């Protein structure tokens, strides 16, 4: 047996030796590459910083906007290569004010505009992200078309860019939402809401047979301090999908006008606790005695989350709210104590 | 004698063959993992994100509760909480759970953050030890402090979950410093993911030696002492090439308890953290995999390498050995509690790849390594192994270990490059070599002790001595 063991070692030995030599060679190579990379990155960082300083000190003034003709006349000396500059941006990850200034003044974004149709997804996505630092006026169509790009990352980059467009893009709402996965809907809505989509975009969503689209529509109808879509919201309070009804209740709070109160009164009587809880939260944003009255009723709800939201909202109403909270002291002592504490911390809803 | 000798030699023969096979398999596994990590990191450095929300649309961003379990964290809790206050995120709850500290943790935060007792109604959906008092900060309404009886980290997290009213929660350690934009980056995949994203982990880096101003890491620097420096290397290897690789194939079995974001309702649905284990973070992630697989729903549990959380690592052998002992016990417990998933095709890639790998190579690794050394030494002195072969094999093992470490440094160098000073990067390279001579063997011994303690049902957590984060301390 011992002999067998030793024979095995003798048999394996010749194979192990080249492996050890090969791996040692590889280790040496990787170590050299690593050291060279460290040195190169250190040197190029210094070079980039010098270049950046030089550019900033230059008196050359160029730039207006992407559509301007005088951009075509910008001549860059050969050593001031765009790629060097882009490295500055990449290294910083988020552009600093200085790099944005150079980006504008030197007209580097011209290349980014052409990169919007580059075949590599990351070139298209990165160009979009940088272009937001200059005006995207005149690029409305390009950005809109990139929403339907084959790459997920480019589509997301286009979504991030929407806020920088001058006006709401010409989008087919159904096609727009179906271009993304349902799981991404809340992100789409977050990106669309600040753009204040108009009736022509919202109507197809509200009328859609797909709950997914009606849900998105219900959120987008809740534009802050904008009561013009209340009739749509009122219609959706009867929706068979509870998530749509919940979102309607949330949107009514964002609208925040007195006209939303009667609709909220209706949603506060919904069979679904999540809808009632959302209604309670929204009522806290509308200062009116009727809000307190409805909340006073919701504070006796069977479901904890509804009571919690009602007490929390009552804490926004100052003395009047505290009085209502006091009515429920005996049956909801902890919630009432918490809400009274909160009411002294929060400013009264204007 | 010759019969016994033959039997022993036969055992050594078989054992050596198994060790060789094990050695070959583990390194092949690591090389595949390294390739997967390279692909994933390449993708991450190319993609760009922006602000999740603007203006009033930010109220639609998911609310996040940051749970900070604290046990005797007087030295670090204030700076940690201050760093959390700086986080750039609109809907935030900061919940510190004082887990029956015996030092002045609660006094420290009471004074610094002007706490007053409140009657916060919990949602008791998961079990936890009795809560003594709940406080809110007068200076920052986002801060809630739960003071409870001691029950361990998992129990403290469960208590925090009960008081949280947010959609997502981020579990972090009390000695951690979270980078300002990290939360946005962690939340983004929840909003933009094409499947149901149920857990996200970010990278944990070593704060020892870094230049810390206020509650922010201003400059990543290497510690001056060797032990923390070796751990910098270890963390880079574990996160950049281990977790990134597993994440690529949606088989990530662990998200660090020091920096993981989860869906609150989902974690409550599975009963919160398991309190009987010291590996509560790994156990939670495995149970989330199990829950989602059994539901038959598409999901993702992933690791993203750019949101950074800085943490202090032990700078003494004694504390480090206890920490690694605990990690090994935690691993053993998490795998034992979920043993039915190991090798079970019903659980897809996590059952067939992730968990078997962790069982065979991470859990049994120290046993094989230490017993390998022992058998090797016995065989050598018995004259059953010839010297050139012994030297060759030891060299092979060392070279392979160093190679993997240097390759992970190369990944760091070409992607994230957090250490700006070239001398720090050279020092890291030195650590990649140095750790293989003594530290690695000692580490295997601590882990083996952890495995033994697991069988002895030890539940000790082990104490970590903390120092203030201010300045550039270690």
- Helices A185-192 and A211-220, axial angle in degrees (round to 10): 30
Q: Tokens 């201010």 appear where?
A: B470
For each of the domains in chain A, give its residue range(s) and CATH number, in order of start: 221-350 (1.25.10.10)
* φ, ψ for residue B96, nearest 5 deg: -95, 130
Residue of chain A with shortest Cα separation from B58:
A190
CB within 8 Å: A194 and B57? yes
Strands, DSSP E only, in B177-240? 177-178, 196-206, 211-213, 216-219
d(CA B388, CA B344): 43
What Å distances lie between residue A325 and A284, A289, A312, A346, B245, CA to CA?
13, 14, 10, 15, 54
Contact B256, B172 (CB under 8 A): no
Q: Which residues of B touch A9 (CB under 8 A)?
A: 385-386, 389
Cβ neighbours for B279, distance < 8 A, ≥ 6 positions apart: B327, B329, B330, B331, B332, B333, B334
Residue of chain B with shortest Cα separation from A308:
B121
Shortest Cα–Cα distance, B262 to chain A (Å): 16
pLDDT at position A63 is: 44
Contact B408, B33 (CB under 8 A): no
d(CA B415, CA A90): 11
Strand partners, B96: B68, B145
- Helices B153-163 and B280-295, axial angle in degrees (round to 10): 60
What Å distances lie between residue A330 and A322, B176, B184, B283, CA to CA?
14, 42, 42, 42
CB within 8 Å: A341 and B136? yes
What Å distances lie between residue B6 and B1, B11, B233, B384, CA to CA?
8, 8, 44, 11
* φ, ψ for residue B50, nearest 5 deg: -130, -155
Residue of chain B with shortest Cα separation from A220:
B57
The tens digit of pLDDT for each residue in B164-207 reads 999 999 999 888 888 888 898 899 999 998 889 999 999 999 99
Shortest Cα–Cα distance, A297 to chain B (Å): 19
DSSP one-letter code for A284 = T
Q: What share of chain A is helix, strand, coil (3-state, %, to 5)?
A: 70, 0, 30
What Å distances lie between residue A26 and A34, A289, B236, B406, CA to CA?
12, 78, 21, 11
CB within 8 Å: A34 and B406? yes
d(CA A243, CA A240): 9
Choose between B470 and A248: higher pLDDT: A248
The tens digit of pLDDT for each residue in B364-381 reads 999 998 998 888 888 878
**One digit per residue, pLDDT tens: chain A, 350 residues?**
667 666 766 777 777 788 888 889 999 999 999 999 998 888 877 777 777 777 667 655 544 444 444 444 444 444 445 555 555 554 444 456 777 777 777 677 777 888 899 999 988 998 888 888 777 777 888 899 999 999 999 999 999 988 888 788 888 999 999 999 999 999 999 999 999 999 999 999 999 999 999 999 999 999 988 888 999 999 999 999 999 999 999 999 999 889 999 999 999 999 999 999 999 999 999 988 889 999 999 999 999 889 999 999 999 888 888 999 998 888 888 888 888 888 887 665 55
Q: Three-state SS for B11?
A: helix
Shortest Cα–Cα distance, B290 to chain A (Å): 21
Cβ neighbours for A246, distance < 8 A, ≥ 6 positions apart: A272, A274, A275, A278
Cβ neighbours for B61, distance < 8 A, ≥ 6 positions apart: A190, B52, B53, B89, B90, B91, B187, B191
Structure ipTM over 0.90, yes or no = no
Three-state SS annotation for A148-168: CCCCHHHHHHHHHHHHHCCCC
CB within 8 Å: B20 and A308? no
Number of H helices and E strands in chain B, helices first, is: 16, 12
**What is the helix (H) or strand (E) element at residue B19, kind and residue range?**
helix B2-46
Q: Tokens 């809803």 appear where?
A: A349
**What is the helix (H) or strand (E) element at residue A337, kind and residue range?**
helix A333-345
Contact A147, A171 (CB under 8 A): yes
């Amino acid at each position: 047996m011992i002999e067998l063991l030793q024979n095995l070692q003798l048999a394996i030995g010749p194979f192990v030796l080249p492996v050890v030599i090969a791996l040692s060679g590889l280790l040496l190579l990787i170590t050299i590459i690593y050291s060279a990379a460290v040195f190169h990155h250190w040197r190029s960082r210094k070079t980039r910083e010098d270049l950046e300083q030089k550019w900033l000190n230059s008196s050359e003034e160029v730039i207006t906007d992407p559509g301007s003709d005088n951009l075509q006349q910008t001549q860059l000396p050969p050593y001031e290569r765009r790629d060097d500059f882009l490295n500055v941006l990449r290294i910083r990850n988020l552009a600093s004010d200085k790099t944005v200034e150079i980006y504008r003044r030197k007209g580097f974004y011209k290349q980014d505009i052409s990169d919007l149709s580059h075949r590599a997804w990351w070139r298209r996505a990165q160009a979009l992200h940088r272009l937001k630092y200059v005006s995207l006026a005149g690029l409305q169509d390009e950005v809109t078309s990139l929403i339907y790009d084959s790459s997920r990352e480019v589509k997301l980059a286009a979504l991030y860019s929407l806020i920088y467009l001058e006006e709401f893009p010409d989008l087919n709402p159904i096609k727009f939402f179906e271009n993304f996965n349902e799981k991404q809907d809340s992100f789409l809505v977050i990106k669309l809401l600040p753009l204040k989509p108009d009736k022509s975009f919202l109507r197809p969503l509200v009328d859609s047979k797909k709950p997914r689209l009606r849900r998105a529509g219900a959120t987008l109808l809740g534009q802050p301090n904008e009561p013009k879509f209340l009739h749509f919201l009122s219609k959706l309070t009867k929706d068979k999908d509870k998530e749509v009804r919940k979102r309607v209740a949330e949107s009514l709070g964002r609208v925040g006008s007195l006209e939303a109160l009667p609709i909220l009164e209706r949603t506060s009587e919904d069979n679904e606790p999540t809808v009632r809880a959302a209604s309670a939260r929204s009522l806290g944003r509308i200062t009116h005695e009727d809000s307190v009255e409805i909340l006073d009723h919701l504070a006796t709800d069977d479901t904890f989350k509804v009571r919690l939201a009602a007490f929390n909202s009552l804490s926004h109403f100052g003395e009047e709210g505290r009085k209502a909270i006091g009515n429920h002291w005996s049956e909801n002592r902890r919630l009432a104590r918490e809400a009274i504490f909160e009411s002294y911390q929060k400013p009264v809803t204007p | 004698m010759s019969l016994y000798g033959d039997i022993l030699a036969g055992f050594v023969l078989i054992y050596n063959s198994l060790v060789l096979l094990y050695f070959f398999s583990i390194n092949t596994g690591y090389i595949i993992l390294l390739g997967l990590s390279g692909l994933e990191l390449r993708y991450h450095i190319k993609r760009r994100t922006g602000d999740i929300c603007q203006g009033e649309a930010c109220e639609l961003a998911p609310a996040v509760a940051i749970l900070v379990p604290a046990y005797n964290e007087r030295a670090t809790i204030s700076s940690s909480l201050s760093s959390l206050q700086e986080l750039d995120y609109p809907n935030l709850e900061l919940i510190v759970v004082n887990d029956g500290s015996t030092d002045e943790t609660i006094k420290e935060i009471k004074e610094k953050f002007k706490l007053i007792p409140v009657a916060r109604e919990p949602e008791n959906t998961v079990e936890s030890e009795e809560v003594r008092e709940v406080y809110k900060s007068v200076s920052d309404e986002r801060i809630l402090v739960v003071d409870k009886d001691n029950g361990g980290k998992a129990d403290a997290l469960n208590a925090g979950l009960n008081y949280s009213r947010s959609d997502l929660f981020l579990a972090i350690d009390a000695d951690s410093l979270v980078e300002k934009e990290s939360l946005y980056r962690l939340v983004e995949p929840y909003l933009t993911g094409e499947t149901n994203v149920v857990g996200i982990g970010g990278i944990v880096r070593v704060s020892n030696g870094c230049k810390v101003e206020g509650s922010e890491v201003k400059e990543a620097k290497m510690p001056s002492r060797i032990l923390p420096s070796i751990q910098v290397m270890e963390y880079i290897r574990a996160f950049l090439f281990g977790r990134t690789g597993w994440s690529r194939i949606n088989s990530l079995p662990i998200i660090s308890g020091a920096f993981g974001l989860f869906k609150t309702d989902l974690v409550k649905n599975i009963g919160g953290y398991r309190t009987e284990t010291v590996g509560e973070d790994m156990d939670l992630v495995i149970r989330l995999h199990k829950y989602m697989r059994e539901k038959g729903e598409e999901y993702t549990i992933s690791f993203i390498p750019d949101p950074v959380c800085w943490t202090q690592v032990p700078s003494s052998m004694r504390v480090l050995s206890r920490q690694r002992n605990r990690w090994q016990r935690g691993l053993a417990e998490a795998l034992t509690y979920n043993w039915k998933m190991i090798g079970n095709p019903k659980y897809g890639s996590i059952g067939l790849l992730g968990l078997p790998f962790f069982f065979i190579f991470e859990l049994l690794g120290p046993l094989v390594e230490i017993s390998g050394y022992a058998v090797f030494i016995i065989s050598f002195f018995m004259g059953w192994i010839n010297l050139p072969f012994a030297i060759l094999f030891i060299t092979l093992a060392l070279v392979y270990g160093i190679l993997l470490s240097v390759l992970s440094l190369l990944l760091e160098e070409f992607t994230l490059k957090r250490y700006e000073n070239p001398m720090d990067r050279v020092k890291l390279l030195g650590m990649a070599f140095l750790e293989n001579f003594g530290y690695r063997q000692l580490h295997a011994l601590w882990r083996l002790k952890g495995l033994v303690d697991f069988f002895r049902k030890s539940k000790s957590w082990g104490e970590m001595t903390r120092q203030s984060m201010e300045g550039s301390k270690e």
